[in-house]
Amino acid sequence: MNQTKEKNQCGEASKCCASPMTQPAPSERIPQNHTSAKVAYRIVKDELLPQTQPRLNLATFVTTNMDEYATRLMNEAVAINYIDETEYPRVAVICGRCINMMANLWNSPEKAEWKAGAVGIGSSEACMLGGVAAWLRWRERRKAQGKPLDKANLVISSGYQVVWEKFCQLWQIELRTVPLSKQHPTLDIQKAIEMCDENTICVVPIQGVTWTGMNDDVEALDAALEAYNAKTGYQIPIHVDAASGGFILPFLNPERKWDFRLKWVLSISTSGHKYGLVYPGLGWVIWKDKKYLPQEMSFSVNYLGANITQVGLNFSRPAAQILAQYYNFLHLGMEGYRKIQEVSMEIARYCHKEIGQMVPFECYAKELDNPLFIWSLKAEYAAKAKWTLFDLQDKLRQSGWMVPAYTMPKDIDDMTVMRIVVRQGFSRDMADMLLKDMADAVKELEALEYPTTSRLKCQRKEHLKGKVYTH
Ligand SMILES: *Cc1c(COP(=O)(O)O)cnc(C)c1O
């Protein structure tokens, strides 16, 4: 920002306060003078105005809708810091209860009164903690064997969420990715095992792959690792990234074994703010037993007179989401969660079927594992079409819908898809409105005389440049 602008923005108080609405919003320095609360509120509020209506945003996984009591509870707790145990000792107790409930939801065998787990800001923090624990356990074993510690690696499918890249980068662990392919739309177990060696800290299957909505087969992976570990004498465990699936499978598919019932699953993470139905940011990680949570990860601090033991990357964090998670458990119960997830699933299946029947499209998954799915243009259709899914995304945005189009991860990055995440609050009526808007948009695009810019870029493969953020 240049000097003149800066001066205008932060001129005399009278000038500044008289018409801050006519000045460019400060973006470099804190303004010299104050702006009235009302005007400052208006300016900040207006910044958010042109964005998509949360209810029409089918791109996000994160809760945008909680009931009146939950919202009240959270607003009333907005000033509570989770770490202030002396002031609010019950917050830690409620957090511990949530951890117990999550552990039992995932069939933890742990008998202790307080199960081993931790709260995080989201799955990202929870995944990091699960990853760090696996890495420390691996180091412990290697040290005991007098073997080098410098070549740790982690095995995951190329459909991983960006947190795993962050984890591996920050802790300097080699990220080994098993490519997704048309033959293997989920983790290719055999390839995953082939990538393992003595330096593998864990394999990470995903329940609710961000890119596709599908589940990796954890039971098959567990069996394959059992055979591999028996043969090699290694002890490669599983951390399940169940950001979405952790709150879907226990309610809709309780027989399916993906959790602590499996031998090598030692930790699981999820997002409380996705299908846990809490506003952002909340994540959970649970270990199968205290013995899998390395001592070095628990920090005891004397804070404001209380001795607090904490596992986490953050220290201070809001308590409101934890209270809201507990509220949801109380209020909804198993039955309430099941009903809500069933409705989301039913609406997702309906959209999946309808979109699959539209002439230009084909869906990626035959059956839905989670209430989200992707689809693409049929190859023969795409070859002749003058438009792409990016054009459809723009068209739908004109009617207020946020339906993202993106290219798939490497090895199948020639494939462009669109995704819908169905969440609580998306009704059958809204689904019908969306489907109608989609059909109209397709009709308009089909009437085009010339190829769109996006179509020309696709022909030149320019759409593959730059990463697409998918959530
Ligand atoms: C959303 C997601 C994450 C990251 O979770 P946040 O709660 O956004 O931090 C990690 N893994 C998967 C599979 C996800 O879908």
Give 371-393 pLDDT, tens digit per residue. 999 999 999 999 999 999 999 99
The sign of the CA dihedral 455, 456, 459, 463 is: negative
Residue 131 has pLDDT above 70, yes or no: yes
Label residue 120 left, alpha or beta by phi (over 0 means left) and psi (-120 to 50 means alpha): beta
> CA–CA separation, 258 vs 204, rounded Å?
12
What is the pLDDT, as a whole number, of residue 89?
85
Q: Is the CB of 57 under 6 A from ligand 1?
A: no
Q: Is the CB of 376 under 6 A from ligand 1?
A: no
What mean pLDDT do residues 154-163 have? 97
What is 343-465's CATH number, 1.25.40.10, 3.20.20.140, 3.90.1150.10, 3.90.1150.160? 3.90.1150.160
Q: Is the CB of 283 under 6 A from ligand 1?
A: yes
Tokens of 343: 């409705």
What is the pLDDT, as a whole number, of residue 23?
83
Report the nearest atom of ligand 1 relative to the CA of 122: 7
Q: For ligand 1, pick from 60, 61, 187, 218 the residue to mutate: most ligand atoms within 8 Å of CB.
A: 61
> CA–CA separation, 458 vs 453, rounded Å?
9
Q: Which of 1-10, 262-271, 298-307, 340-349 has the lowest mean pLDDT?
A: 1-10
Beta sheet of 361-363, edge-to-edge order: 361-363, 372-377, 416-421, 405-407
Q: Is the CB of 123 under 6 A from ligand 1?
A: yes
Q: Which residues contact 72 (CB under 8 A, 6 or more apart)?
A: none
pTM, two decimal places: 0.92
Q: Which residues contact 299 (CB under 8 A, 6 or more apart)?
A: 309, 310, 311
**Interval 213-269: pLDDT, tens:** 999 999 999 999 999 999 999 999 999 999 999 999 999 999 999 999 999 999 999
Q: Is the CB of 370 under 6 A from ligand 1?
A: no
Residue 215: φ, ψ to 5°: -105, 135
Please tell me the residue having the least CA distance from ligand 1 atom 2. Answer: 243
Confidence tier at 6 by pLDDT (50, 70, 90): very low
3-state secondary structure of 414: coil
3-state secondary structure of 82: coil
195: nearest Cα among 216, 174, 167, 170: 174
What is the pLDDT, as a whole number, of residue 253?
97
> CA–CA separation, 35 vs 12, rounded Å?
12
What is the pLDDT, as a whole number, of residue 455?
87
Distance 123 CA to ligand 1 centre (A): 5
Distance 89 CA to ligand 1 centre (A): 29
**Interval 45-78: pLDDT, tens:** 888 876 768 889 999 999 998 999 999 999 999 9
Report the nearest atom of ligand 1 relative to the CA of 471: 1
Q: Is the CB of 270 under 6 A from ligand 1?
A: no
Report the nearest atom of ligand 1 relative to the CA of 206: 13
Distance 210 CA to ligand 1 centre (A): 8
> CA–CA separation, 342 vs 121, rounded Å?
26
What is the pLDDT, as a whole number, of residue 465?
57
Distance 161 CA to ligand 1 centre (A): 6
Residue 12 has pLDDT above 70, yes or no: no
Domain positions in the chain: 2-50, 72-329, 343-465
What is the pLDDT, as a whole number, of residue 413?
86
Confidence tier at 309 by pLDDT (50, 70, 90): confident
**Interval 81-120: pLDDT, tens:** 998 888 888 999 999 999 999 999 999 999 999 999 999 9
Q: Is the CB of 200 under 6 A from ligand 1?
A: no
Reply yes or no on domain 72-329 having CATH 2.40.50.140.
no
> CA–CA separation, 331 vs 66, rounded Å?
12
Mean predicted lDDT score pLDDT of the chain: 91
What is the pLDDT, as a whole number, of residue 105?
98
Tokens of 416: 């462009």
Strand 238-241 with 306-310, pairing? unpaired
Distance 11 CA to ligand 1 centre (A): 45
Q: For ligand 1, pick from 123, 204, 317, 325 the residue to mutate: most ligand atoms within 8 Å of CB.
A: 123
What is the pLDDT, as a whole number, of residue 54?
84
CB 321 within 8 A of CB 93: no
CA distances from 332 to 107, 348, 394 (A): 20, 21, 37
Percent of the chain with pLDDT over 70: 92
Say which residue, 26 or 16, is predicted with more confidence.
26
What is the pLDDT, as a whole number, of residue 241?
98
**Interval 398-410: pLDDT, tens:** 999 999 999 998 8
Q: How far is CA 296 from the centre of its chain?
A: 27
Q: Is the CB of 212 under 6 A from ligand 1?
A: no
What is the pLDDT, as a whole number, of residue 304?
65
What is the pLDDT, as a whole number, of residue 149?
96
Greatest alpha-carbon pair distance for the chain in Å reads 79
Q: Which residues contact 455 (CB under 8 A, 6 or more apart)?
A: 385, 386, 387, 388, 391
Label residue 98 left, alpha or beta by phi (over 0 means left) and psi (-120 to 50 means alpha): alpha
CA distances from 64 to 270, 387, 425 (A): 17, 32, 9
Residue type, 115: K
What is the pLDDT, as a whole number, of residue 358?
97
Cα 19–25–29 angle (5° rounding)?
110
Q: Is the CB of 91 under 6 A from ligand 1?
A: no
Residue 468 has pLDDT above 90, yes or no: no
3-state secondary structure of 181: coil
What is the pLDDT, as a whole number, of residue 338?
98
Q: Is the CB of 177 under 6 A from ligand 1?
A: no
Structural element, H or E, at residue 351: helix 320-357
Tokens of 227: 């055979």
Q: Is the CB of 163 under 6 A from ligand 1?
A: yes
Q: How far is CA 186 from the centre of its chain?
A: 17
